[in-house]
Chain A
Amino acid sequence: MTETTHSASGRAGGSRSPGAEKPRWAGMSPGGGRRGAGGSGGSGGADSGAGSGRSWHRSPVRQLTPWLFLAIPLARLVTFTYVPVASMVSYSFTDWDGVSPTRDATGVDNYVQIFTRPELFRVFFVSGYYLAASAVQIAVALYFAAVLSFNLRFRNFFKGILFFPYLINGVAIGFVFLYFFQDGGTLDSVLSWAGFGSDHAWLGDPTSANVSLAGVSMWRFTGLNFVLFLGAIQSVPAELYEAAELDGAGKWQQFRHLIAPSIKPVISLSVILAVSGSLSVFEIPYIMTGGATGTSTFVIQTVKLAFQFNKTGLASAAAVVLLAIILLITWIQRRLVPDDKVDLV
């Protein structure tokens, strides 16, 4: 019988119960309270399966089987997501150095330090540069998505060019732009070629360095926003545009009433990615400046606290603060823009 082989094949060696021996088609109970056929939407031709599956759905082996499939995924999920979050919260109330077997509870002292020591708190302001860059980035991506949704010559070429930076290795991007900004490098050469002689040290002072780094991050991530927007715009059926044109709608009106509503969910997603992204910037500033000249970000600081200065307790508190901020922003976004995303079960 099917059920017998199936518990035998299970890795965990499930308990075989006599009820499982019952053929699956025996005892149809059409009025069963449980949902049949696993909630698989959109599948036709399940009419024979749904009814006869009911009793089988209730059998203990049927109950056990999914757990055999889920055992490894769940173990991994809990070990590498939930355990770290829980232990991070518990470390954050101690002065642990990450190595020694003992640690002392220090209450909320770590949190007080984060919000009162200016050198720890300053990294939040650096995020502001990246946040501003993200706003520009979304606008630029939106513009090019709108432009390339039209039937242009070379549109696939331009699409590829705009998207490609997103795929490039972050370290390579860091080096490309170190040369770009370096004294006598690409930017200086282009400027002097265009007649603007300059020997500005682009990464030399905090403001200029942060603006430059935020620009690099824009260069890198615009492509992703662009492709998301383009996909959303193209999901509007062409007939709608034709109908709008017949009705005399101009380009702006088409954008306002056809394109804008169709990309609203993607824009809200991009905004949330932008905010959480600008708070957790790491690669570009770390590779290019190592966090020097006032370019240290929240994650760079946390990594340094934890792995260079062995202040695991303080670093955990910082990470908990960041996590809380990101969860808060996600929650606000979900409240403001309710979407239909949660259709998984």
Chain B
Amino acid sequence: MTTDRRTADATTTGPTTTRPGAASPGAPGPGTAGRGTTEGTDRATGRAAGAPHPARSAAAVPAPVRRRRVPATGTALTYLSLVLATLVVLLPLAVVFLTSLKTSQEVSGGSALSLPGNWLNLSNYVTAFTRGKMLVAFGNTAFILFFAIGGTVLIGSMTAYAVDRFDFRGKRLVMVLFLVATLVPGVTTQVATFQVINGFGLVDTRWAPILLYMGTDIVSVYIFLQFIRSIPTSLDEAARLDGANAFTIYRKIIFPLLKPAIATVVIIKGITTYNDFYIPFLYLHSEELGTISTALFRFKGPFGAHWEAISAGAILVIVPTLIIFLLLQRWIYNGFAQGATK
């Protein structure tokens, strides 16, 4: 975990150091050192990620750019293995993409690897989008995403604020409760969680997944907690002298400064929520409440043998992820590395 902190801090502490009001000694050392390393190695990706890092160029640390070179003998084999891995990853996806552009006859007649006759044949996408009720599904997913992410951010940051900035009886107990909860895998408890949700009368409403996504996420608390520690308490003290109460301090000082951590949480939470199948499958039975996962899953039923339509549906679901990934690469790498090691 400590090993990973360096890359993680490179993202998260960035903006804090530039903030004029923030006492610069408040920025943890490893973050500053780490920035140099990642900057060197990730410069090529930095196009999109460069924007949220105003502190980057200001980092006075000479960048110890990795200059290690592979020995010449192994180079060919190394590239061979990488190209092979690329093929293994891309081939299944590429074939499905090709299939999505084919006509029904082309699919049943030709080989899976053959090319579509008309590269602009989008009729399968139209079928998948309309017959698969994808528009409703994207709408439901967006609705769930909005409230689940909003709730996670509020809950995570409030918890982190209370735990880090206050000293109170029962604090250890609270932390133990949160820690132990990370050990309980969500999949195991759904049998009983279903009864709780059922007791609230929320089965088959979009509030069931929203509540569960907010509730199961302890990782975000840790991300916020780690970040909130790098915000100097002198800021709180100064605001308190000016007459601000705890809630104002949270809302006006802590929350705005948490932006990088919020971005991390939004990305992790957003992608995992978008991809989740288990929860909507268990709780959202009505067809009009389908999320993109369950809508795609149900779409296969009536189109069992029409691989061109199913492929188009799968590609439709993958494309938004691909776009987000290309735009936010660095944030995604760091976010998931940070989230998983907590």
Tell me if B229 is interfacial: C-beta within 8 Å of chain A. yes
0/1 per residue, B280-305, Cβ < 8 Å to A? 00100000000011101100100000
Pick the residue among B240, B292, B340 that contacts A2 (CB under 8 A).
Answer: B240
**In the bound complex, what is the Cα–Cα distance between A188 and B95 (angstroms)?**
12
In-complex Cβ contact of A91 among B2, B181, B192, B244 (8 A):
B192
Assess the A169–B195 pair: CB atoms within 8 A: no
B165 interfacial by beta-carbon distance below 8 Å:
yes
> Which residues in B have their C-beta under 8 angstroms from that of A237?
33, 37, 64
Residue from B67, B229, B317, B340 in contact with A172 in the complex, judged by beta carbons closer than 8 Å: B317
Kindly state whether residue B211 has any CB partner on chain A within 8 Å. Answer: yes
A167 touches B4 (CB 8 A): no
Q: Which of B42, B175, B194 has the most CB of A within 10 A?
A: B194
Q: Which residues of B contact A193 (CB under 8 A)?
A: 113
Chain B CB within 8 A of A224 CB? yes
Would you list which residues of chain B between 138 and 192 have a CB under 8 Å from chain A? Answer: 155-156, 158-159, 161-169, 171-172, 174-175, 177-179, 181, 183-185, 187-192
Closest A residue to B171 by CB, please name it.
Answer: A345
Known: A45-B26, A160-B325, A169-B296. A77 touches B178 (CB 8 A): yes
Task: Tell me, yes or no, whether B247 is within 8 Å of chain A by CB.
Answer: yes
> B residues within 8 A CB of A148?
82
Q: A35-B167, A42-B26, A63-B168 given as contacts; is B191 within 8 A of A319 (CB)?
A: yes
For chain A, the bracket of interface size reads 35 or more
Contact with B along A227-251 (1 / 0, CB 8 A): 1100110110111010000000001
Q: Which residues of A contact B37 (CB under 8 A)?
A: 234-235, 237-238
A227, B336: Cβ atoms closer than 8 Å:
yes
B278 touches A144 (CB 8 A): no
B90 within 8 A of A: yes
**CB of B337 within 8 Å of the partner chain:** yes
Asked whether any CB of chain A lies closer than 8 Å to the CB of B58, the reply is: no
Q: Is the CB of B321 within 8 A of A167?
A: yes
Q: Across the interface, do A38 and B332 meet the contact criterion of CB distance under 8 Å? A: no
Complex contact A169–B317 (CB within 8 A): yes
A47 CB to closest chain B CB (Å) equals 9
Secondary structure type dominating chain A contacts? helix
Kindly state the separation between the CA atoms of A305 and B28 in the bound complex, as whole angstroms.
51
Contacts of B1 in A (CB 8 A): 265-266, 269, 339-341
Quick check: is B134 within 8 A (CB to CB) of the other chain?
A: no
Residue numbers in B under 8 Å from A128 (CB-CB): none
CA A276 to CA B334, docked complex, whole Å: 23
Bound complex: CA A314 to CA B71 (Å): 58
Point out the residue from A39, A67, A81 that lies within 8 Å of B189, measured CB to CB: A81
Residues in A whose Cβ lies below 8 Å from that of B282: 303, 307
Name the one of B71, B229, B276, B310 contacting A42, with C-beta atoms under 8 angstroms. B229
- The stretch that binds B, out of A112-120, A129-137, A151-159, A196-204, is A151-159
In the complex, whether B41 has a CB less than 8 A from a CB of chain A is yes
- Contacts of B113-134 to chain A: CB distance below 8 A: 113
Interface residue A273 (Cβ < 8 Å from any Cβ of B): yes
**In contact, A38 and B233 (Cβ under 8 angstroms):** yes
Set of chain B residues within 8 Å of A166, measured between Cβ atoms: 336
Report B-chain residues with C-beta under 8 Å of the C-beta of A67. Answer: 162, 168
Closest residue of chain B to A89, judged by CB?
B192
B3 within 8 A of A: yes
**Interchain CB contact under 8 A, A169 and B112:** no
Task: Determine the distance from Cα of A3 to Cα of B65 in the docked complex, in whole angstroms.
Answer: 51
Q: Pick the contact of B66: A143, A238, A319 (CB < 8 A).
A: A238
A98–B198 alpha-carbon span in the complex (Å): 10
Pair B25/A44 contact, Cβ less than 8 Å: yes
A165-211, CB < 8 A from B: 165-172, 175-177, 179-180, 182, 184-186, 188-190, 193
Which of B67, B190, B310 has the most chain A CB atoms closer than 10 A to its own CB?
B190
User: Can you spell out 10 A-B residue pairs with CB atoms less than 8 angstroms apart?
Assistant: A39-B164, A41-B229, A66-B171, A69-B161, A76-B211, A147-B82, A151-B66, A161-B86, A303-B282, A323-B188
Known contacts A237-B64, A344-B175; 19 further A-B pairs (Cβ under 8 A): A46-B237, A48-B234, A66-B168, A80-B212, A87-B192, A144-B81, A150-B70, A156-B45, A156-B329, A175-B310, A177-B92, A182-B307, A185-B112, A238-B64, A241-B68, A299-B187, A316-B191, A319-B191, A323-B188
